[in-house]
Amino acid sequence: MIILGINAWHGDASACVLVDGQLRAAAEEERFRRIKHWAGFPSHAIEYCLQEVGASIADVGVVAVNSDSTVPRWRKLKYLLTSPRALRVAVNRLRDRADRKSIQQLLNSLGPNPFEGDVVNVEHHLAHLASAYYCSPFQDASVVSVDGFGDFASAAWGRANGTAINVDGRVSFPHSLGIFYETITHFIGFKHYGDEYKMMGLAAYGQPKYLEQMRNIVHLRNDGSFRLNLKYFSHHTGESKYTWSGGVPTADDYFNERMVDLLGPARDPKGDLQQRHMDLAASAQAMFEEALFHMLNVCHQRYQTPNLALAGGCAMNSMANGKIRLNTPFKELYIQAAAGDAGGAIGAAQVAWHQQGGQRTAPMTHGYWGPQATESDIEKLLSEHDQPLAEQGISVTKMTPGPMCEHVAARIAEGDVIGWFQGRMEWGPRALGNRSILGDPRRADMKDILNLKIKRRESFRPFAPAILREHVADWFEQDHDVPFMMQVYQIIESQRQKIPAVAHVDGSGRLQTVRREQNVLYYDLIEAFRRLTGVPIVLNTSFNENEPIVCRPDEALDCFLRTRMDVLALGPYVLERNNE
C-alpha cells in the first residue's frame, strides 16, 4: 500500500510517501523551487517522494490531502448568519478556491499513466494532530494543534490512544492565537510570511511591559480556549487578504487603528528597532505562552495523561515549547520535525493509513527524509568546476569519515566557518546536521563572523547549539531529547560564558540533541570537537544565504563559492580556501 500525503495551497507546500504505513520520504516544495515557503501544488516534492520509493503516480493507492472544506459547514453557516461582514470573507475564500485545478487532473499530469486510486480529504487540524501523535512513541497522549487557520478552525484538542484520535474541541474562525502572533509580528515591522521567528528572537531583548494591553487583545476562557477582541483586527472583515500568487505566500496587515491607539504607532519595516518594539515582542510572547499553557493545563486536567503531542504552526514557537514542562504537569513532549503546515502531509497520510485498518508504525526519531547525492554526483560536479575552484585557490581532498571528522573539527576549533552537506536532506524548517553551516560556539565573535561572511541577517537572531545527547544535563537546566531543535532551554549559568556564540541574550539556547544512532557522521564530528576542546557542542545554522536551505550539491557549492565560507564538506570531499 503506497499512500501519498500532500499539503497543497498552503504555505510550505509539501509531500510525503508511506509504504505500508512506514514513512519513506518527505520534502517541502520550496527546496526544489528555491522560493521560501512556496505554496500551491507540490509537484516537485511529489516526484521526488515517488522516485525515492521507485513508484509512479499510477502505483499510489491513496492520495491524502490535509484539507477538507466540507467538514466545518455548520460552523461556517453559523458565522455567516451572525456576522454582517462574513459574506465578503466567504466570497474571497470561494474566489481563492476557484483558482485551484482539479486535483485529479494535477495528479494525472505527473506521469504517463493516470492515477486511479482514491483521494482522501483530511480535516486540517486532524492532520496536524495525526502528524504529531502517529509519529510519536506514545500509545496514549493529549493531542493539541494550534495555528493560524485551516478548515475554518485555528486550534483543536483531544486524546489519542492506540490508533484512535478523538477530537473533543476546536477554536473556530475568526479567533486564532496564530493570527494574534502574526498580527503583532507585522505590527513590529516584520512583514514577510514566516517572520514570526524573528519576533520570537527579538522578545529576549525586551520586557513584557505591554502584557495588560495584550490581555485586552486575547481573552482566555474556562474551557482552555481563547477569543480575540475583534475590535483590534481586520482579518475577519474581508478587507485583509492572504494570497500565494506565484507560489510566494503574502498576507496583509490584520491590525487596525484601534490597535495603534492601544499599542502606539506600528514600526515601519525600514525603521530602526527601538526598545519599545522589543518590549512589544516580549509582551506578545508572554501572552502567547499564557494562552498556550492555559489550554495545555486544561487538557491535562481533562485527560490525566503525562504525554503531550503538539502540532500546528504555533508549535514552532520553541521558546514556549521549552517551558511546557515547567508550566504544565506534562512530563513527556513530542513535536514533529515539521510541526507546521508542511507536516500536515504526513498527518493526512497517516490518517488515511489508519482508515485502511493499518497499525502503528515506527516513530519518527530523526528528520532525514529528503534527497541525497551520490558520490558520483559530487565527483561529476567537482570535475565540472575544476577551473573556477583552482582560480579561487580552493583545494579538494577526498577523505574517509573518521579523518574527515577529525580534520573538520580542528578547522571549527580554529574559528573557521564550515559548510556541511551530508546524507539525506532534513524534513522541516531546521538544519539538523546534514544541510548545516557549523562554527565554534566558544567564540564570542562567531555571530558577527557568520553574519559578515554568509548569513547577512538581523544581529538579534540567535544561532543554535547542537549537543551530544549524553552531555545535555551538564550544559542545560533541562535534560530531555530535542532532536528537531523545537525547544529552547536555559543554559546553566556557569556554562554560558564558555559558549557565547550560542547563548542568547537571556541565557537560553535553541538546542538540538544528537544521538549517534540518529546521525553517525554528525555525532562523530561533534565528538571529535569535544575531544579537541572539551565542549560537546557546535554552533549549527542552516546552509543557505537568504534562500531556502540547500537541497542539491550544486546549490551547496554555489553558496560556498559566492560567500566567504572557509571549508565545505561535500560528501566525502573537503573543499578548503587558501586564505594566506
Place of cell 508542511: 342
Q: Note whether 161 and 107 are same-domain residues.
A: no
182 and 96 together in one domain: no
Distance CA 494, CA 517 (A): 30
Question: Which of 273, 293, 290, 271 is CA-nearest to residue 461?
Answer: 273
| Whether the Cβ atoms of residue 483 and residue 366 lie closer than 8 Å to each other | yes
116 and 225 housed in the same domain: no
| pLDDT, tens digit (0-9, with 9 covering 90-100), for 428-461 | 999 999 999 999 999 999 988 998 888 777 888 8
CA distance 80 to 88: 10
pLDDT of residue 350: 98
| CATH number, domain containing residue 400 | 3.90.870.20
What does the mean pLDDT of the chain come to? 94
pLDDT at 83: 60
Strand partners, 397: 574
Residue 279 lies in a domain: yes
The rounded distance, in Å, linking the Cα atoms of 40 and 35 is 12
> Which of 461, 453, 423 is closest to 437 using CA atoms?
453
Cα 287 to Cα 66, 114, 178, 343, distances in angstroms: 29, 50, 12, 25
pLDDT at position 99, please?
41
Say yes or no: 104 and 152 in one domain: no
Which amino acid is present at 322? G
Tell me the average pLDDT across 76-95: 53
Q: Could you tell me the pLDDT band of residue 547, with boundaries at 50, 70 and 90? A: very high
In a domain, 187, yes or no: yes
In a domain, 286, yes or no: yes
| Separation CA 524–CA 515 (nearest Å) | 10
* Residue carrying C-alpha cell 544521538: 515
For 511: left if phi > 0, alpha if psi spans -120 to 50, otherwise beta; the answer is: beta
Could you give the CA distance from residue 333 to residue 316 in angstroms, rounded to a whole number? 13
Which domain covers residue 465, as residue numbers? 375-577
Q: Is residue 270 part of a domain?
A: yes
The yes-or-no verdict on residue 133 having pLDDT over 90 is yes
Other Cβ atoms within 10 Å of 444 Cβ, number: 12
Q: Bridge partners of 570?
A: 421, 573
Q: Is 364 inside a domain boundary? A: no
Q: Is there a domain that residue 354 lies in?
A: no
**From CA 473, how far away is CA 493, in angstroms rounded?**
13
Residue 76 has pLDDT above 70, yes or no: no
**For range 40-47, the mean pLDDT:** 97
Q: CA quadruple 215, 221, 225, 230: dihedral positive or negative?
A: negative
Considering the domain architecture, whether residues 263 and 284 belong to the same structural domain is answered as yes
Note the pLDDT of residue 240: 73
Share of the chain above pLDDT 90, in %: 87
467 and 495 within one domain: yes
**CA-to-CA distance for 425 and 27, rounded, in angstroms?**
8
**Secondary structure (3-state) at 311:** strand
Angle of helix 196-203 relative to helix 177-187, nearest 10 degrees, comes to: 80
Cβ pair 299, 129 in contact under 8 A: no
The residues, ordered by sequence, that sit 6+ positions from 145 with a Cβ below 8 Å of its Cβ are 125, 128, 129, 132, 155, 156, 157, 310, 311, 312, 315
77 or 447: whose pLDDT is higher? 447
Q: Is residue 350 domain-resident?
A: no
Residue 81 pLDDT:
55
Cα distances from 447 to residues 11, 199, 438, 451, 504, in angstroms, run 29, 18, 11, 6, 11
| Number of domain units in the chain | 3
- Model confidence pLDDT, tens digit, residues 394-407: 999 999 999 999 99
The pLDDT of residue 96 is above 50: no
Q: What is the pLDDT of residue 579?
A: 64
Shared domain for 381 and 517, answered yes or no, is yes
Q: 231: domain CATH number?
A: 3.30.420.40
Domain end residue (candidates: 103, 129, 155): 129
Same domain, 160 and 300: yes
Q: Do 446 and 508 share a structural domain?
A: yes
Beta strands, E only, 126-205: 140-150, 153-161, 164-172
316 shares its domain with 393: no
Whether 79 has a pLDDT exceeding 90, the answer reads: no
Q: Residue 20, Cβ neighbours under 10 Å: how many?
A: 12
Q: Is the peptide bond before 174 cis (omega within 30 degrees of 0)?
A: yes
Verify that 560 and 442 share a domain, yes or no: yes
Confidence of residue 91 (pLDDT cuts 50, 70, 90): very low
- Secondary structure class of 296 (helix, strand, coil): helix
Please tell me whether residues 119 and 47 are part of one structural domain.
yes
150 neighbors 347 (Cβ within 8 angstroms): no
- Give the tens place of pLDDT for each residue, 196-250: 999 999 999 999 999 999 999 999 999 999 999 999 999 998 777 778 877 888 8
Contact present, 107 and 57 (Cβ < 8 Å): yes
What distance in Å separates the CA atoms of residue 568 and residue 574, rounded to the nearest whole number?
6
Q: Are 512 and 484 contacting, i.e. CB atoms less than 8 angstroms apart?
A: yes
Q: What nine digits make up the cell of 541?
A: 545554522
CB 540 within 8 A of CB 465: yes
The bridge status of strand 394-398 relative to strand 418-421 is unpaired
End position of a domain, from candidates 97, 129, 161:
129
> Domain ends where: 104, 129, 154?
129
For residue 72, pLDDT beyond 80: no
227, 421, 554 from 371: Cα distances, Å: 42, 12, 13
pLDDT of residue 519: 98
The number of CA neighbours under 13 Å toward the Cβ of 315 is 32
Q: Dihedral angle at the C-alpha atoms of 237, 211, 190, 347, nearest 10 degrees?
A: -70
Look at residue 111 and tell me if it is in a domain.
Answer: yes
- Percent share of the chain, pLDDT over 70: 94
Q: List CB contacts of 390: < 8 A, sequence separation 6 or more.
A: none
- 458 or 302: whose pLDDT is higher? 302
Longest dimension (CA), the chain: 73
Per-residue pLDDT tens for 475-499? 999 999 999 999 999 999 999 999 9
163 pLDDT higher than 80: yes
Cell 560564558 found at: 497
The answer to whether 2 touches 115, Cβ cutoff 8 Å, is no
